[in-house]
């Protein structure tokens, strides 16, 4: 159990920067998720923490100890892979015992610790099986037991749920989270699945093109995204391109005048979450005439894809109360949102 | 329609089986004949046999040249295979794991001894030995060391080929998993990589041994006076006599190789590697 500190961690391959100045702290016992599209540098960062990739510059500190130049086998990190990576020629017991053997623990103690670790993941009865005799979910739980049995300073999870089907994914996710809380172990998980990230993390790091774009809680990322990329990557949204006048007015490319939070004057992008945009009454602030282009029925909610002008489109959302008619494609409706509901990012493009 | 499709499928399967059967027969028939011949009673092989005897096998037991040849060939094969393993397994690991310049070239060079005709290989090594001995004064020509070295060359391609093939199906994250659990690279190799590629290593060693054991052409150039391997002993015997002794010693060879394969297969499934 330890605190992890990454400082200006950079990895270059020739001219290509896999990561650039990644700086972040993970508190003791915290569950941090690194989220981003493929190639964003999240896996490289994880591999630098585990010791499989040597950083070009920067440092990794674990529990106050500088481990930047330490080989993987001397780092005491528990690692769980997407492919499970169980040793196929060893039984479940032997797989879990491996790390303890490497630490030259007496056989009797190994037996106790292995049994305890397998009980923790509810697989105590399958110790004599070979990995190929287990289901995917069971294999991943063995991998988890194997990564925890030697009490690592930190648990690293590399897309641990990606190979499981949807139902199992949910199950193992809950299991990982409960186990992590119970043991209070510092954990870093890498994923590209935002739902997974949002439901499991204490705190998230969004990365893109090798850089950390934002670090924060789920609400920080969703309600106060730091930039256009984070706003688009976490949750859904509509984006309008235009210019800000610097005094709380935003003028879209299609000529709409929108009231918003004041940002620096110049080109900017305005972002809106669907649930903040609704059917508006006459005379309300930021109310606009729109044509329904597409209706997406989600059950309790209905998404209305609306065209405000030829170049400005916004998704509005309405609660389906079951009564009355729903807007249809081609209907003219009035939609609107409070000025404070929109994010405005100056100097960025919509796509 | 369905019946016809089924019929054509059955027909195709039958054709495949027939082709496999013919190929198998083509391989096994000579072996069968040699075995049969080795029990013929008459000295000059002719059909039909006049009777059957075990005399030719008894004759081998009394033939000093065959016995010492068998011993030398076996020793040579074992030593060459051991050295071949020490060279070829790390080479295969490097080829499979690292991307370096000239990787393909190295890979092809290591397979070369298999493609170059034995006579050419033998001549090349022989000339090299002569030149080296003239220039350095080291007694290489016809030495046991030189002979072993030549046979190592014969074993390397087999081991490289089969180990590389088994590494292709090996998941390298297993190695990373082992290291994250505290295993040094050497321990990782011993406990994780080697068990996974063992069928390839064993099959490579077996084939390497067999091709060293049966090598005639290259060996002819490298043996020194008084050193006779089994294939050379057989050749020399053939120059004087054509009696079923040759068949008998061939059967002994076939049985030795077959037993080696069967025993190995019990521990490591060769079919997984080849």
Q: pLDDT, tens digit, for every residue of A29-87?
A: 999 999 999 889 999 999 999 999 999 999 999 999 999 999 999 999 999 999 999 99
**Are B180 and A79 within 8 A, CB to CB?**
yes
pLDDT confidence of A166, banded at 50, 70, 90? confident
pLDDT higher for A158 or A167?
A158
A 10 A CB-CB count for B107 gives 17
B-chain residues near A73 (CB < 8 A): 179-184
B-chain residues near A99 (CB < 8 A): 181-182
> Is the CB of A98 inside 8 Å of chain B's CB atoms?
yes
**Are A85 and B192 within 8 A, CB to CB?**
no
**Are A85 and B177 within 8 A, CB to CB?**
yes
Backbone dihedral angles phi then psi of residue B259, each to the nearest 5 degrees? -65, -45
Strand order in the sheet with A301-307: A278-279, A332-336, A287-297, A301-307, A313-319
Long-range contacts of B142-146 (CB under 8 A, 24+ apart): B142/B222, B142/B223, B142/B224, B142/B225, B142/B227, B143/B224, B144/B224, B144/B227, B146/B222
- Give the minimum alpha-carbon distance from B192 to chain A in angstroms, rounded to a whole number: 7
Residues of chain B with a CB closer than 8 angstroms to some CB in chain A: 171, 173-174, 176-184, 187, 191-192, 195-196
Kindly state the average pLDDT of the residues B108-133: 89
> Is the CB of A13 inside 8 Å of chain B's CB atoms?
no
> Is the CB of A147 inside 8 Å of chain B's CB atoms?
yes
B-chain residues near A81 (CB < 8 A): 173, 176-177
**Are B180 and A50 within 8 A, CB to CB?**
yes
With 0-12 / 13-18 / 19 or more C-beta atoms within 10 angstroms meaning exposed / middle / buried, residue A148 is: buried
**Are A88 and B176 within 8 A, CB to CB?**
no
**Are A85 and B195 within 8 A, CB to CB?**
no
Average pLDDT, chain A: 91
Backbone dihedral angles phi then psi of residue A207, each to the nearest 5 degrees? -120, 150
**Are B180 and A77 within 8 A, CB to CB?**
yes
Stated pTM of the model: 0.81
pLDDT for the residue numbered A94 = 96
Kindly state the average pLDDT of the residues B60-68: 86
Q: Using the 8-state DSSP alphabet, how is residue A278 labeled?
A: E
ipTM of the complex: 0.85
Q: pLDDT, tens digit, for every residue of A284-296?
A: 788 899 999 999 9
**Are A103 and B196 within 8 A, CB to CB?**
no
Both tokens of A128, joined, read 């004599």
> Is the CB of A106 inside 8 Å of chain B's CB atoms?
no
Under 8 Å between Cβ of A200 and A173: yes
> Is the CB of A88 inside 8 Å of chain B's CB atoms?
yes
Q: pLDDT, tens digit, for every residue of A265-323?
A: 889 999 999 999 988 877 778 889 999 999 999 888 999 999 999 889 999 999 988 77
Kindly state the average pLDDT of the residues B181-203: 93
**Are A72 and B174 within 8 A, CB to CB?**
no
B-chain residues near A50 (CB < 8 A): 176, 180
For chains A and B, CB pairs below 8 A equal 63
A-chain residues near B169 (CB < 8 A): none
**Are A103 and B183 within 8 A, CB to CB?**
no
In order of B40, B152, B204, the CA distances from B213 in angstroms are 27, 11, 14
pLDDT for the residue numbered B262 = 87
B-chain residues near A156 (CB < 8 A): 180
Q: pLDDT, tens digit, for every residue of A79-127?
A: 999 999 999 999 999 999 999 999 999 999 999 999 999 999 999 999 9
**Tokens 């009564």 map to which residue?**
A323
Residues B79 and B76: their CA atoms lie apart, in Å, by: 5
pLDDT for the residue numbered B246 = 86
A-chain residues near B177 (CB < 8 A): 79, 81, 85-87, 146
pLDDT for the residue numbered A314 = 93
- Give the minimum alpha-carbon distance from A152 to chain B in angstroms, rounded to a whole number: 9
Residue whose C-alpha is closest to residue A342's, from A264, A217, A238, A247: A238
pLDDT confidence of B50, banded at 50, 70, 90? confident
- List all residues of chain A from 313 to 332 with a beta carbon under 8 Å from chain B: none
pLDDT confidence of A215, banded at 50, 70, 90? very high
Residues A228 and A342: their CA atoms lie apart, in Å, by: 12
pLDDT confidence of B143, banded at 50, 70, 90? confident
Average pLDDT, chain B: 88
> Is the CB of A133 inside 8 Å of chain B's CB atoms?
no
Count CA within 13 A, CB hemisphere, residue B199. Answer: 17
SS3 of chain B: CHHHHHHHHHHHHHHHHHHHHHHHHHHHHHHHHHHHHCCECCCCCCCCCCCECCHHHHHHHHCHHHHHHHHHHHHHHHHHHHHHHHHHHHHHHHHHHCCCCCHHHHHHHHHHHHHCCHHHHHHHHHHHHHHHHHHHCCCCCCCHHHHHHHHHHHHHHHHHHHHHHHHHCCCCHHHHHHHHCCCCHHHHHHHHHHHHHHHHHHHHHHHHHHHHHCCCHHHHHHCCCCCCCHHHHHHHHHHHCCCCHHHHHHHHHHHHHHHHHHHHHHHCCHHHCC
Percent of chain A with pLDDT over 90: 72
Task: Give the closest of B174, B184, B195 to A73, CB-based.
Answer: B184
**Are B180 and A98 within 8 A, CB to CB?**
no
**Are A98 and B191 within 8 A, CB to CB?**
yes
Count CA within 13 A, CB hemisphere, residue B260. Answer: 19
**Tokens 């071949």 map to which residue?**
B84
Task: Give the closest of A50, A88, A99 to B182, CB-based.
Answer: A99
pLDDT confidence of A350, banded at 50, 70, 90? low
pLDDT confidence of B273, banded at 50, 70, 90? low
Measured over the CA atoms of residue A130, residue A135, residue A138 and residue A142, the dihedral's sign is: positive
Under 8 Å between Cβ of B155 and B84: yes
> Is the CB of A71 inside 8 Å of chain B's CB atoms?
yes
**Are B180 and A89 within 8 A, CB to CB?**
no
- Give the minimum alpha-carbon distance from B183 to chain A in angstroms, rounded to a whole number: 6
**Are A98 and B195 within 8 A, CB to CB?**
no
């Amino acid at each position: 159990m330890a605190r992890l500190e990454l400082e200006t961690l950079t990895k270059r391959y020739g001219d290509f920067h896999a990561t650039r100045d990644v700086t972040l702290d993970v508190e003791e016992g915290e569950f941090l998720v690194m989220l981003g599209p493929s190639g964003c540098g999240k896996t490289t960062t994880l591999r630098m923490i585990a010791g499989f990739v040597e950083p070009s510059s920067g440092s990794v500190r674990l529990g106050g100890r500088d481990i930047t130049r330490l080989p993987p086998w001397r780092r005491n990190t528990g690692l769980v892979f997407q492919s499970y990576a169980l040793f196929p020629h060893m039984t479940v017991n032997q797989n879990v015992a491996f790390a303890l053997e490497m630490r030259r623990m007496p056989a009797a103690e190994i037996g106790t610790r292995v049994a305890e670790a397998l009980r923790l993941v509810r697989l105590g009865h399958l110790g004599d099986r070979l990995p190929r005799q287990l289901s995917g979910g069971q294999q991943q739980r063995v991998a988890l037991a194997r990564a925890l049995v030697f009490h690592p300073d930190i648990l690293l999870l590399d897309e641990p749920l990606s190979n499981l089907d949807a139902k199992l994914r949910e199950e193992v996710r809950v299991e990982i989270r409960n186990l992590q809380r119970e043991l209070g172990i510092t954990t870093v998980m890498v994923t590209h699945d935002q739902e997974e990230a949002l439901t499991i993390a204490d705190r998230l790091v969004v990365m893109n093109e090798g850089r950390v774009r934002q670090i924060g809680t789920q609400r920080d990322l969703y309600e106060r995204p730091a930039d256009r990329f984070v706003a688009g990557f976490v949750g859904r949204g509509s984006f309008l391109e235009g210019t800000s006048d610097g005094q709380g007015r935003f003028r879209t490319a299609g000529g709409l005048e929108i009231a918003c939070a004041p940002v620096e004057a110049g080109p900017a992008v305005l972002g809106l979450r669907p649930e903040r945009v609704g059917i508006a009454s006459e005379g309300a602030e930021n109310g606009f005439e729109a044509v329904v282009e597409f209706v997406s029925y989600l059950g309790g909610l209905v998404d209305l894809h609306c065209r405000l002008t030829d170049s400005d489109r916004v998704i509005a959302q309405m609660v389906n109360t079951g009564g009355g008619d729903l807007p249809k494609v081609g209907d003219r409706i009035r939609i609107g949102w409070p000025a404070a509901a929109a994010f405005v990012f100056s100097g960025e493009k919509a796509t | 329609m369905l019946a016809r499709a089924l019929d054509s499928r059955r027909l195709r399967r039958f054709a495949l089986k027939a082709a496999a059967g013919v190929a198998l027969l083509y391989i096994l028939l000579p072996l069968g004949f040699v075995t049969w011949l080795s029990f013929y009673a008459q000295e000059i092989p002719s059909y039909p046999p006049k009777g059957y005897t075990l005399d030719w096998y008894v004759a081998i037991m009394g033939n000093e040249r065959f016995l010492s040849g068998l011993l030398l060939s076996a020793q040579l094969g074992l030593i060459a295979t051991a050295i071949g393993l020490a060279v070829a397994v790390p080479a295969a690991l490097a080829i499979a794991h690292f991307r370096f310049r000239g990787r393909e070239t190295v890979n092809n060079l290591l397979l070369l001894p298999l493609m170059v005709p034995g006579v050419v290989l033998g001549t090349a090594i022989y000339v090299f030995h002569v030149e080296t001995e003239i220039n350095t004064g080291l007694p290489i020509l016809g030495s046991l060391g030189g002979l072993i070295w030549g046979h190592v060359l014969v074993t390397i391609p087999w081991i490289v080929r089969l180990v590389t093939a088994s590494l292709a199906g090996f998941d390298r994250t297993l190695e990373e998993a082992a290291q994250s659990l505290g295993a040094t690279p050497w321990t990782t190799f011993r406990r994780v990589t080697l068990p996974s590629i063992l069928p390839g290593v064993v099959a490579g060693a077996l084939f390497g041994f067999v091709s060293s054991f049966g090598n005639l052409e290259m060996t002819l150039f490298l043996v020194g006076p008084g050193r006779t391997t089994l294939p050379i002993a057989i050749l020399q015997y053939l120059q004087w006599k054509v009696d079923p002794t040759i068949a008998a010693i061939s059967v002994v060879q076939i049985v030795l190789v077959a037993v080696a394969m069967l025993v190995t297969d019990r521990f490591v499934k060769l079919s997984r590697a080849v």
